[in-house]
Amino acid sequence: MTVFGEYSRYYQLLYQEKDYPAEAAYVLQLIRAHCPSTQSLLELGCGTGAHAQHFAEREIRVHGIDCSAQMLEQARNRQKCLPEKVAERLTFSEGDVRQVRMADTYDAVISLFHVASYQTDNEDLRNMFLTARKHLKPGGVFVFDCWYGPAVLRNLPAVRIKRMEDHAIEVKRIAEPVMHFDRNVVDVNYTVCIRDKADDSVIELKEVHVMRYLFSPEVELFAGMAGMEIVDSRSWLSGNIPSVDSWNVCFTARA
């Protein structure tokens, strides 16, 4: 089962406050700063297709890849509700970001919402970079975000509780972190409780997400191993130079 398998059904509810239009606009700005003529992109770890939709609305052709069939089902359902001209710019397929190989190449490759941090093994992270490079046209860029090591170590992960609800269900998610300083990873132990408002029944799900925090020198090393060069790094959405307060940092690598 994929890491998001059990609660992918509740993913959109849990993250409904995310400003997907602003995030897509920010990433597109980063892409066009280094590849101004971008018209196509490959998204590694597209999830429910929310970012892909907003790129398509900006006349970018997007192919999204995800390892979760449940997430892709939601992405395709989203696609069906879009205007025809937007929907036809979107395609999706199931695949592993470490191994997938498409016939096409793209102006840009993106991987958002910490997909890189899920690559906890060096070989996995290297293969993800290689996947990005294999699908880039000459001069294309790979934009991705990750947990940023200096900030994680300065502001250690803490227990967090998130509550969301809609007309049908109430969701409470508890995240309990366990640090592994010797491997630069955090086990995020999730307990998700879903209450059905109709009959007051409760379902409890448990999953562990192992997240790797990265440092700029190792990002540069892995990019170089894949034949790319890091040309920019910014705090997510703010555009500031990464610091010990930048938990989420966005890197741009150029082929």
In the prediction, which pLDDT does 5 show? 45
Q: Of 222, 7, 247, 68, whose CA–CA distance to 151 is shortest? A: 247
**Shared-domain flag, residues 34 and 65:** yes
Higher pLDDT, 20 or 205: 20
What phi and psi, each to the nearest 5 degrees, are found at residue 142?
A: -115, 115
Note whether 35 and 102 are same-domain residues. Answer: yes
- On whether both 70 and 173 belong to a single domain, the answer is no
- Split at pLDDT 50, 70, 90, the class of 13 is confident
Range of the domain at 197: 151-211
Residue 157 in this model has a pLDDT that exceeds 80 = yes
Mean per-residue pLDDT, 10-36: 89
Structural domain contains residue 2:
no
Tell me the average pLDDT across 175-200.
94
Three-state secondary structure string covering 213-231:
EECHHHHHHHHHHCCCEEE
Residue 155 is part of a domain; what is its CATH number?
2.20.130.10
H/E segment holding residue 20? helix 20-34
If asked whether residues 58 and 166 sit together in one domain, one would say: no
Same domain, 139 and 196: no
In a domain, 94, yes or no: yes
In a domain, 3, yes or no: no
Whether 122 and 190 map to the same domain: the answer is no
Decide: 169 and 194 in contact? Cβ < 8 Å. yes
Question: Please, which pLDDT band fits residue 203 given cuts at 50, 70 and 90?
Answer: confident
Same domain, 189 and 63: no
The answer, yes or no, to whether residue 21 has pLDDT greater than 60, is yes
What percent of the chain is modeled with pLDDT above 70? 95
Quick check: 252 pLDDT over 90? Answer: yes
The verdict on 29 and 119 lying in the same domain is yes
Check whether residue 170 and residue 132 sit in a common domain. Answer: no
Please give the average per-residue pLDDT across 25-43, as a whole number. Answer: 97
Ranges 11-20, 31-40, 243-252: which has the least confidence: 11-20
- Residue 167: the pLDDT is 85
- 155 lies in the same domain as 145: no
pLDDT at position 3: 44
Assigned domain for 108 exists: yes
Residue 175 lies in a domain: yes
CATH number of the domain residue 123 falls in:
3.40.50.150
Residues 206 and 88 in one domain: no
pLDDT range class, residue 7, cuts 50, 70, 90:
low
pLDDT of residue 244: 97
Residue 2: the pLDDT is: 44
* Residue 179: inside a domain: yes
The mean pLDDT value for 232-243 works out to 96
SS3 7: coil
User: What pLDDT sits at residue 8?
Assistant: 55
Q: Count of domains in the chain?
A: 2
pLDDT digits (tens, 9 = 90+) for 67-112: 989 889 999 999 999 999 999 999 999 999 999 999 999 999 999 9
Q: What is the pLDDT of residues 213-224, one digit of tens each?
A: 999 999 999 999
Give the per-residue pLDDT at 216.
Answer: 98
Mean pLDDT computed over 30-46: 97
Please check whether residue 138 lies inside any domain of the structure.
yes
What's the distance, Cα to Cα, between the start and end of the chain in Å?
A: 33
* Percent helix / strand / coil, the chain, rounded to 5: 30, 35, 35
Q: Are 102 and 187 part of one and the same domain?
A: no
